[in-house]
Every structure is written in C-alpha cells, then in structure tokens.
Structure 1
Amino acid sequence: MPTAVLDISADLAECESCSTQTPPDEIIHTADADQLCSSCAVELDLCQSCDRPARDVEQTVDDEDRCAECRSEFSQCDDCSRYSTEITAIISGGDVCPDCAAEYSHCFDCNSAAADLVSINFDHSVCSDCRDDYCRCHECQMLFRGCEYYCEDCSRPDSSRVHDSDYKPHPDFHGCGPLFLGLELEVRTTYTGHDTAVETANTRLESLGYLKDDASISCGFELVTHPMSFDYAMSRFPWSLLSQLRLLGCRTDEEVGLHIHLSRDGFDSPAHIYRWLKLIYRNEAAVTALARRRYTEWAQFDPDIRAMAKKLANGDHGWGRYHAVNARPTDTFELRVFASSLNRRQVQAALAFAHASVEYTRGLRARDVARFGGWDWSTFAAWVSTRPEYAPLTAELSALADTGAFIDTEEAYPCAS
C-alpha cells in the first residue's frame, strides 16, 4: 500500500516581497497592508505611532517617524520637509510648520508672516500684498497709503485733484430745465495709470464735473457731473473722454455703478412721481437687463420700497439708499440700477432712459394704463423708438433684444400692481 505524502506547503504563506514560503504565524503585516517575512520586514523603517514596519515613513516636527496612514492628518512643511498638524501660510512663501514660521518676520500692516518684506520709508516693513496699497508721492517721493499723485503733506495741482467722498460743491446747473440730470460714473484705474487717468478726466471735464474718492473702488474714482439738462448732456459732455480712459487702462464691471440723479423739480406732481416709480418697479426684469446687472445689493428692487410708491411720491424718503431708486436725497431721486460703463452708447442710453421715463410718465393717464398697457415695457419701448432724441436708448434696446435679453421677462418678473 503506498505511503501518504504530507503537503507541508499548503500551510505556508508567501512573502509578498521575496516569495519565500513562511509559516502564517511568522508573517508580518506592514502599515502598507503588505505581508512580508521577517527578513524583508526588518529592512523597513518602523512607524513609531502604530509600531508597524512601513515603506513610506517620514519624520514629524516632534521627531517621530510615522507611516503614511498615521500621518494622514499631517501636512508637510515646505521649508524643513517634516510633517505637522499645524501649518502656517507664509505670504510670498510656502506652507510651513510652527518652528519654521517663527523664523519669519511679520508685516507691519496685516501682521502676517511673510517671506519678502518691503521697507516703507525706512520706517516699517510690509508684505508684498500690503505694498500694493501704497504709491509714491510725486512731490516728496515718499510712499503713502492711497492711489493718488501726492501725499497729504504735499501740495497737489488742481488738475490732479480727487476730492474726498463727502465733497459736495454747490450745484452749477447747465442747460434748461425743468428736469436736470446728474451723472455719477464709478471707474476703476490701473495702479500705474491712475495719475494720468485722473489728470485726463479733470482736464476734459473742466467746470462740468469733478472726481471723488469712493470706498467701493480700491483704485479709481467716481466721475460726478453738475446738473445738466438732457440736451446739454448729449451735446456738451466730453464723450470722447470715455474712450481716452479705456486707452489708459481704465475699466468697469458689475461691482461699480452708474448712478443718475433726477431733480425732483423736474416732475409735475406727486402723481407724476408715482407713475414714474411704478414704471420702473413694475418692469424690474427689463430695467435690469438694460442696466446690465441684476440682483445687486447696491440697487435692490425691494418689494417693501415698491409698496411705498405713493408715500415716496408724496415726500416720504423711505430708508437706506441701496434701492433701484434712492429717495433719500432732498432735491433729487437717484436712479442706481445701471452698471458702470466706458461705452459711449451705454452711458448715453442710461441718461436717455432716465429722461425718457420721466417724460413718458408725464403724460401717462389712467386710460392709457387700463386700455393700452401704459405701464408695459413694450409700450414704453415703442414710444421711445418714435423719438430721435433717444436714439442711443433705441439702439441699446435693439441690441439687447437681438441677444434675447428681454425674452420671458414678464414670466420671470410678473407685473403686480
């Protein structure tokens, strides 16, 4: 009878590194989920956290060797290459551990650790981010916070003047009323081109307007005109200035606005003001499409303000100024809906809309509203199209219509009473 042969290999495990057959109880499980014999395992480093050998072991800032799994909550310091749970971002540098972060100096302005500090007038040092908040005075060559020609200690020529935000000169009316329009155009400039843009704007505006600081513009200005009749604005405002500013690197976006003040004396009566407010608030979608910005916090179509139309028409000034129509000023209404622009047609269209909306509602009567859709945007647009003086507005409406800007506006914003 044949003798039975015992298959010992069936009870052995294979080392995943050298393929040696090893008894299962002698197999070592690594932190990398490998199964190794003792000879292969001893060649690996030992993780001091889980006490298992591992192929990928790195040192922490506490001088502890950890495997990849045990340092999963750690980040590597860009300076010393050790791992830490606390990492500090260095301005103009990398992400470093606390020990390495202590080797860096801090910015005088923002108190952040920074790799490359810049000296400000040999007085204090700031990081590269904060350095952008400074410019050099053209008179004394000292650095100062701001974006102008001259520091406060040096004289500045009138041609480069940017007034404080609260500057409000006595209005100088241009043209014939009764309705006067005041334009406020917020403009962003480049850091290097700011001075030239300011000088150019002041030179071209002459006595028609002035420039002001605006807290919402990090580097730039607000161009403000004195009150103008619509005809005067269209024929006498230096429209080529807008192109000049563009060539100087100036720009606008949805975060800067174009505001138009309309003189209260330009309205016939409280009823006229009421009709004008209703035209604007009932056509939110179309007005914001024309204005080239929607849902902005700076010109809200607040339903509570809309419900106050009669009170506003009769002298109530409402609350706050960040509404589509700001009723806070004593002598004007401020139409705030438009995004700023350096495009001539867009700015002219904004002025034309302000004027046309007042003149259209001046003659609007109850029967026009009830029988002919007098408050409907399409009726207003048709009225505008028959009047040559509003050609920029007609052209802008036509261009927007071609892009589908007015499609489904009534469905998006149903006109409640």
Structure 2
Amino acid sequence: MTTPVDDILRCGDCGSTTPTPFYLSPTLAVCDDCVRALHQCSGCGQITDVTSVTDGDGRICDYCERAERYRSCDQCDILIRDGFLCRNHALDEADNSFTCDRCSGLVPLRLYEPLYATGDRQLCPNCLDGFDLCDHCAFYDDALRSTETGRDLCDNCASRLDYVECDVCTTLIDSGNYCEDHCDDEDDLDALHSYGYKPTPVFHGIGPRYLGLELEINVPHGHLPDRIDDTVDTLNGLGYLKEDMSIDYGFELVTHPMAYRWALDSFPWHLLQQLDRAGCSGDGNGLHVHISRAAFTGPCHVFRWMKFVYRNAPDVQTLARRSSSYAAFRDSERHNIRDACKGKYWGPRSCAINTQPADTFELRVFASSLDIQHVQAALAFADASVAYTRDLTVPDITQAAGWIWGAFTQWLRTRPQYAPLTRELEDLACAC
C-alpha cells in the first residue's frame, strides 16, 4: 500500500522525509532516527537532545539542571545536587576528605582545605560565602562587629576583650560611653533624661482622676538619636523620655498626668504606629500606669480598689498580657493591703501595685506594646477599676459578688467611654 504524499512530513531536525513522524510539539515533528538520538528528561519528562547525566544515572534537560540547582562533581561531569563529589568519587575520596558542617557536603582535601568559622565549624568554600575573618581570633563569622579603631570582631572576641556598644550607634568601643570620631558625646541624646529625672507635672484634662503613662520601648540598634528626636517632637511637651536599666537599647516614654477622656482624645496615638513602622517594639518590657491618689475618696476606696485587683489576679494578668516578677501578685502584699491603704506599709516597688510613690499608685501589671488598643485598654482599666470600686457597698460585695471579675465586665458594658477595654476583653475571649 502506498503512503499518501499528504501524510509524509519532513523531519524538523535532519530534514529527511518520514511517513511516521514523532511530534515533539504541535509544530515540531522528527523522524525515527532522530527520535532515537533524543532522551527523555528524568525531571520533567520532556523529550530533548540536550541532556546531562546525574549522579543517579538519570538525564535532565538544561531547564531542570538550572531549576534544581545541580552542579558538576569536582572530579567529573556528573551532576549532583548536594556536596562536591558524585557517588562514585565520594566513595573513592572518603578517607581523604572533610564534611562541611553547614551543607554536609563531602569535600576532597586535595581540592579544598577546610575553612573554619566561629565555633570550630569546618566550612566548604561555597558555604563560606557571606563570612568574614575576625581580626582577633582569625576565625570566620557571618556577623562581625565594627570597632572604633577599625577592627572587625566576632561577638566572642568583643566580649572577651571587654568591648561595649556606643550609647548612640552600634560601633564597639573599649572605654567610655560614646565613639570619639562618630558621635558627639551626649549631644545626640540630650533629650534622654536619667532614670531619676522628675519634672514638675503638668496636668491635662479635668481631674482629680489623673493617669500617667510609662511605656518602655526597644529601639533598633544605631537608631536611638533619630527615634528620640522624632518622639520628643511628636509628644510636643506632653511627655519626656528617660533611661531605664530594664531596656537593653531604647527609652521609657513618660507622660504628664492626663484625665482618661482627655488622653483618648488628645494623646498623639499615631506616635505608636510611627515607632512601630521604624522597627521599635515593646517586647519584653512593661507598661505602667500611675493613678493619682487624689482620685480616691479615702482609704476605704483604696482598699476596695486594691482588693479588687489582687482578688482577680488571673484575669488582670490575662488582660495585661504578662505575668512578671516586676509586677508580682504576692500573698504578702495582699495581706498588707489594709495597712498600705492607711500609709503604714510600703512594699517593694516590684509589686502589681507599687504603693511607694507619694502622690500616685503605680499599676505595673501591663506588658509594653505599640498597639494602640493595648495601650488604651491599659489606661481604660486603670480608670474604670477606680471608678467601679468607688461606690461599691458592702451589700454589693457580699450579696451581689461585686468583687468578681464578671460583675466588673458587666458594669463595663453600660459605659461606652471604656470601649477600648471592652474591645480588648472581647478580642482576648475570642483568642482563648
């Protein structure tokens, strides 16, 4: 039987005619002889004439070779994914090689000597990319620190040689507090006051129930002067910045006394977002709220308020997002509440409620945060808890369970001014 001319095609590779074409694609057909010279990629299945042999005796196309990041064995053309030697040569060189501690590749000693990183890790030349040589110990490290004298040191050497970080930038110095050549002594930090700084308070809003916010903030290394300037400019006299030993690198933002309603309406809340966008955080730090003693009607009111806070410690800590020894709920302090209300007992300042300040009670329970709702909820709880306990009567407490957390949250639902606290409690309930 004669094959119709219309069914005979030319091979797209050699050009010969073929009655039995093999289609590599809808528009490319090849003859039987050319098909036998091709290979199927073991990676993607594509038929191609450009293939390389892999360590598993397979063949892959150029595309798969690039996509799978194959590389040639250091002693032959076999492609491998990991290490430096193919299966056969790795067996031959096993007694005269080292294993890279980062990629686990077997590296022949006669081709590469091991390069040591900090911690005595042996690294191959490929894995050493991004490492630099410490100027003191001669080990490689991927996070060297620059010193004022121009040396680059690993963290271990910097610690052993008693280097410290400049208070303004990240440069390491061996004495003093500041770099001599890069930072202008204390001029860059003149708005950061010492821990004991306490200016004359400026009251904002209608009292006598005033709140003072203390927010401990971490700042990215090397950016302290800029964050200080930005924060002071935004506060515009409403507060000031202080040093605090509990903050590794940053500052404590302290406000002047504010009425709760005034604070919600007039505090520059966008400052928290501004600091957050700049890489700052409150992680690991505290948020303290000072409450004016004048906000209480007398010792009995103080007693009811402190009793309410201590009796509901688990719920308060859930709201505060932390349980900390810096804001401890100790039985000894709870048992001394009556004397503390009368000014006959001053416990340690690290209690949940610090009674040491002469003009305020310091509620220390909250975790620091740059989330606006978290901070507003802390102020709301301080104000609401004082307002709630002010008018509690003995029947309210003994017959209506007035000291129970549920009674307080029920009371909050009828006070829309405490919406930040209500929303925070709802979010916490949904998260549980």
Aligned counterparts of 1:120 and 1:362: Cα–Cα separation in 2: 58
Q: Which residue of 2 aligns with 1:245?
A: 275
Question: What residue in structure 2 maps to residue 260 of structure 1?
Answer: 289
Shift of the alpha carbon at 1:120? 3.9
State the distance in 2 between where 1:207 and 1:298 align. Answer: 29
Instruction: Report the secondary structure of 2:215's partner residue.
Output: strand
1:302-350 Cα offsets, whole Å, 9 max, x none, are 0000001110111134221111101111111000000011111110000
Instruction: Identify which of 270, 293, 314 aligns with 1:285.
Output: 314
Mapped partners of 1:137, 1:359: distance in 2: 43
Letter matched to residue 394 of structure 1: T
Distance 1:214 1:151, change over 3 A: farther
Which of 371, 376, 386 is the equivalent residue of 2:404? Answer: 376
Residue 230 of structure 1 is matched in structure 2 by 260
CA contact (8 A) 1:257 1:338 kept: yes
Structure 1: any 5+ residue segments left out of the alignment?
A: 1-56, 58-89, 97-103, 405-417
The one of 376, 380, 385 aligned to 1:352: 380
Please say if 1:178 is aligned against 2:208: yes
- SS, match of residue 375 in structure 1: coil
Residue 401 (structure 1) shift: 1.5
Q: 1-side partners of 2:312 and 2:341: how far apart?
A: 18
Alpha-carbon deviations, 1:246-295, whole Å to 9, x = none? 10001122x2000000011110000000000010000011000000012x
Q: CA deviation at 1:195?
A: 3.0
**Which secondary structure does the structure 2 equivalent of 1:155 belong to?**
helix
Whether the 8 Å CA contact 1:147–1:194 is kept in 2: the answer is no
TM-score (norm 1): 0.65
Aligned residue type for 1:257: G
> How much has 1:145 moved relative to structure 2?
6.5
2:148 paired residue among 121, 127, 132? 121
Output aligned runs, 1:1-20, within 5 Å. none
Alignment RMSD, CA only? Answer: 3.4
- 1:383-402 correspondence runs (5 A): 383-402=411-430
CA–CA separation in structure 2 for the residues paired with 1:348 and 1:119: 41
Quote the residue 1:100 is aligned against.
none
Structure 1 residues 145 and 126: CA distance shift in structure 2, 3 A? farther
The alpha-carbon distance between structure 1 residues 123 and 148, as it changes in their structure 2 partners (threshold 3 A), is closer
Q: Structure 1 pair 275/142, CA: closer, same or farther in 2 (3 Å)?
A: closer
> Shift of the alpha carbon at 1:154?
5.3
- Offset of residue 369 of structure 1: 0.4
Question: In the TM superposition, what is the alpha-carbon distance from 1:169 to its structure 2 partner?
Answer: 1.0
Pick the aligned partner of 2:247 from 203, 213, 217. 217
Between the two proteins, what is the percent identity of the paired residues? Answer: 43
> What pairs up with 1:257-336 in 2 under 5 angstroms?
257-294=286-323, 296-336=324-364
Could you list the runs of 5+ residues in structure 2 that have no partner in the other structure?
A: 1-94, 96-115, 123-132
Q: Any idea what SS the aligned residue of 1:305 has?
A: helix
Report the Cα offset of residue 165 of structure 1: 1.5
| 8 Å Cα contact 1:298/1:322 also seen in 2 | yes
1:20-35 maps to which residues of 2 (within 5 A)?
none
Q: Say if 1:305 and 1:318, in contact at 8 Å, map to a contact too.
A: no
Conserved 8 A contact 1:230-1:351: yes
User: For the residues of structure 2 that align with 1:148 and 1:180, how far apart are their CA atoms?
Assistant: 42
SS in structure 2 of the partner of residue 184 of structure 1: strand
Equivalent position of 1:195 in the other structure: 225
- Structure 2 distance, partners of 1:145, 1:127, is 21
Secondary structure of the residue aligned to 2:423 is helix
Q: Residue 134 of structure 1 corresponds to which residue in structure 2?
A: 165
3-state SS of 1:372 partner: coil
Does residue 403 in structure 1 map to residue 431 in structure 2? yes
- How far off its partner does 1:362 sit? 0.6
Rounded Cα–Cα distance in structure 2 between residues aligned with 1:136 and 1:241: 23
- Shift of the 147–236 alpha-carbon distance from structure 1 to 2, 3 Å rule, reads farther
Q: Residue 275 of structure 2 aligns to a residue in which SS?
A: helix
Amino acid at match of 2:415: R
